[in-house]
Amino acid sequence: MAGAGVPGPVPPGGPSALGRLLGYVALGVKLALFALVFVLAVKNSEPVTLRFFLGREVETSLALALVAALCAGALFGVLAMASYAFGLRRDRSRARAQADTLRSERDDLRAERDRLRGELAALVPSAPVTVDAAPPVAGNAASARQVPHGL
């Protein structure tokens, strides 16, 4: 059985025709995206001036400024999600610890139940079982008070 993140066995004969086709399609999409980004960078290569706080200015190409803004946005997004992901990991570990505690309590309760059943079986004498015994009739006070053996 393949673990998480571990690829499964390769089928005999290599990847299927559909797998190869999807690989070529993915490669084509990647090349098209690269070409679009490259053309955008060439068309926007004129210099721009970025003005920061305290009078600091940097002159760079517009394409480089756009790529830097994209990378900064991606970095801030990853950092914002990191605290959420760590919180989920903490909650998961707490839930696992609670589940382990509940499993342990369940096992203890089952053991106690089995022990009590054994004690009860030793206390209650076994009554002979008759096959032709009539079921209790509703309204009969004597039959209503009978307690079946073998609880």
Condensed to tens digits (0 to 9), the pLDDT of residues 2-48 reads: 555 566 665 566 678 888 899 999 999 999 998 988 888 888 778 88
What's the pLDDT band for 145 if we cut at 50, 70, 90? low
Statement: the pTM of the whole predicted model exceeds 0.85: no
Report DSSP state, residue 51. E
pLDDT at 17: 84
- Which are the contacts of 77, defined by CB distance < 8 A and separation ≥ 6? none
Alpha carbons 135 and 146: distance in angstroms, whole number: 11
pLDDT at 13: 62
Condensed to tens digits (0 to 9), the pLDDT of residues 103-130 reads: 999 999 999 999 999 999 888 876 665 6
pLDDT at 137: 57
Q: Which two tokens stand for residue 2?
A: 């393949």
pLDDT at 14: 64
* pLDDT > 80? residue 133: no
Condensed to tens digits (0 to 9), the pLDDT of residues 86-105 reads: 999 999 999 999 999 999 99
Q: At what angle do helices 17-43 and 62-123 cross, to 10 degrees?
A: 140
Would you say 46 and 64 are in contact if contact means Cβ atoms under 8 Å apart? no
Taking alpha carbons only, the member of 111, 117, 110, 128 closest to residue 151 is 117
pLDDT at 43: 83
Give the whole-number percent of the chain exceeding pLDDT 90. 37
